[in-house]
Structure 1
Amino acid sequence: MDSYNRRGKEDEQQQVFTNIEKSNIVLAIFSKRYSESDRCLNELVKMEELTKEGKLVVIPVFYNVKTNEVRRLQGEFGIHFADSLKRFSMEPMMVQSWEEALNFITKRSIGLSLERHINEFAPVAAIVKEVTRLLPSSRRMTRRRRLGIGEVFIRALTATFLFALFISPMRRTPDVNFLKIGNLLVGFPFLVVVLHKILC
């Protein structure tokens, strides 16, 4: 997204740093070509710095790259990282900070890997679940009693019945018949139950 900005490279990088500083949780999404970008590596250094200060939680996400290749700097990820080291060999302090940040972020927590999932929708759900778990508000929510499937169905059925009884006649639609209302009364609560099962 940042590559579409028309500002200078340094301004873009600073804006990303600012956004990281404003965040509580950050996803570090590692791909095979992640390590060829000095900007990505600099952002990782910023994440490490804020994490050590206790201001940030970083979730490593390994996208189409093996976890061990990133952690051990092997495979295609390792090759690109070696190329970056050559390009910036005149800046040993920066290169060292990259190595330390990679080591700190990737080995500090388990992270999420696309390799473990059947399709690409599963890791998205895993990311949402992990972020939700880490959010302060979610901890309060987990203390509340969770509704059972039966309770969800009854509440959805009641809401649908009230809609059919009061709201639908107000629309004065001539094509509304008992069959359509019956389908609504049965179908909508089942849909709510399925969504509740998936999302909760």
Structure 2
Amino acid sequence: MRFSALLITAAVVVSGNDLLANAATFQRREISEPVQVCHAKLREATTELTAVRDGVSEFTSSAGYFAALGVQSKEQSLDGILRETSELCCRGLSISMSDEETDASIDIISPMIDEAIGALQMIGDKKPEFDNTPLTTILVKNDIKSMERHTKSLLDCFSQESPEDRYTTIRDLSHKLGDAFSSARFTYGI
């Protein structure tokens, strides 16, 4: 008898898990494939932004030029990912996004913006360290300009393809990031 109760409980749990899996699949279908691909690239960019922020945080001028090149390598990787993300997302968002797609995009873009702001603040904080390492400040300036160009392009695409009632949210994220870039440009005299 106890075995039968255990078997019935297991069957109910398995059925419940199947329903949850089907519900997740159904929910995911509300987001078109191009937007899902874009979201994957946005997550990749967020991960790389974290790596750049951490690399900049750990950098000291006493570590020398080769350590600066290590940070530069991470920034170049980020630049490539941001360029790919911008191109892919802007091409994939050639039609207006649904409310669900826009909300999901905002949920992914917001942490990316926060990571970008954190990286820019760290780059600003580390300017004296970069200034003490030959040629490094020039590399950082170029990276700031490139990162700004790609993120601006990306946010412009999202704002153009989003429903009007979500435009304010995306605009606010864009302004928040723009302020961080302004601060970094001021700090580096760009």
| TM-score, length of structure 1 as denominator length | 0.29
In terms of fraction of residues, the more helix-rich structure is: 2
Say which one has the larger Rg: 1
In proportion to residue count, which structure has more strand? 1
